[in-house]
Amino acid sequence: MPEGDTVWLTASRLDAALAGHRLTRSDLRVPRLATVDLRERTVLGVVPRGKHLLTRVEGGLTLHSHLGMEGAWRLFAPGERWRGGPGHQIRAVLATDGVSAVGYRLPRLELLRTDRESTVVGHLGPDLLGPDWDPAEALARLSAAPERPLGDALLDQRNLAGIGNVYMAELCFLAGVSPWTPVGELAEGETLPRLLDLAARLLERNRERHDRTTTAPGDRRARLHVYGRARRPCLTCGTAVRVTADDHGEPGRERPTYWCPHCQPRPR
C-alpha cells in the first residue's frame, strides 16, 4: 500500500531515470489531458511531497500524480515488456531514449504550472521525509483537535504528511495506545512527541525498500505487528489481533483498523 516511504522511493527512482533527459514520448490517458504533449521538454526533477509526486518539466510545468491505494509508477528499458497491470490501467507514459516511466492505476493526474504547486500540496502538514519536517509543528496541529481519535488525526495529511493506514496501525501499537484514544489524552505527556519521533524513524528506515518492516531487525515471525494480522496472535502478548472495517479515515474513504485489545485497550 503506497504511503510516504513508497512515494519517496518512487520519486527517487523516477528522478534518477528521468531528470536531465528530454522526453521522446508523452501519453497522458485521462480525458482532460488527452491532447497534452510534453515531447521535447526536459524533465527537471521528480519530487515527493507526502503521498504526492511532482514531476517538473521545462517550461514551468508540473505533472502531479497521486498513487492512491493501488497506483504505481514502473520503469522499463527500451524493448522490455511492460508489467504492472493490463493496458487499460495505464494512466501515463513518459519516455526518454533510455527508459519508459509508466503510471498504473493513478487515481489523480493533472498538469499545472510549477508556480501553482501549492494548490495541490499547500494544505499538507510537515512531510515526515521532507526537508520541511518539523515535529513541533506536527505536534501543534495534532493537538489543535484534542477530542479527535488518534487514528483519524494521524491519517489526516493536514497534520503531518506521509502516514497511511499501515503506519497508523503500527505506530499506535508501538506506542501502546488505542487508535480511538482522544489526542488530548496524549498531548500533555511524552507519548505524542515519542510517537512522532518513531514515525520519522520508521519511514526513514523503510524509504529505500519495498518490504516495509516495523518489527525488530532479525524478527522472522512477521514484518508488521498488527496490520493485516487479524485473528493471528499478537507478537508481544499472544492475544488475537482484531480488526474493524471502515472505522478511520475521511468520510467515504474509511479504512479498516487493526489493533491488539490487550496491548492497546480501548478508552472508556
Which candidate in 3, 49, 170, 207 is catalytic?
3
3 noted as active-site residue: yes
229 noted as active-site residue: no
Contact 166, 212 (CB under 8 A): yes
Residues paired with 161 in a beta bridge: 127
Which candidate in 49, 212, 229, 255 is catalytic?
255
Give, as one character, the DSSP assignment of residue 107.
S
Contact 94, 22 (CB under 8 A): no
Which candidate in 2, 126, 149, 179 is catalytic?
2
Q: Which residues of 243-260 are buried (b: 16+ CB within 10 A; e: fewer)?
A: beeebbbeeeebbbbbbb
208 noted as active-site residue: no
Which candidate in 51, 91, 212, 229 is catalytic?
51
Backbone angles phi and psi of 8, in degrees to 5: -60, -45
3-state SS track over 161-188: ECCCHHHHHHHHHHHCCCCCCECHHHHC
232 noted as active-site residue: no
* Residues involved in catalysis: 2-3, 51, 255
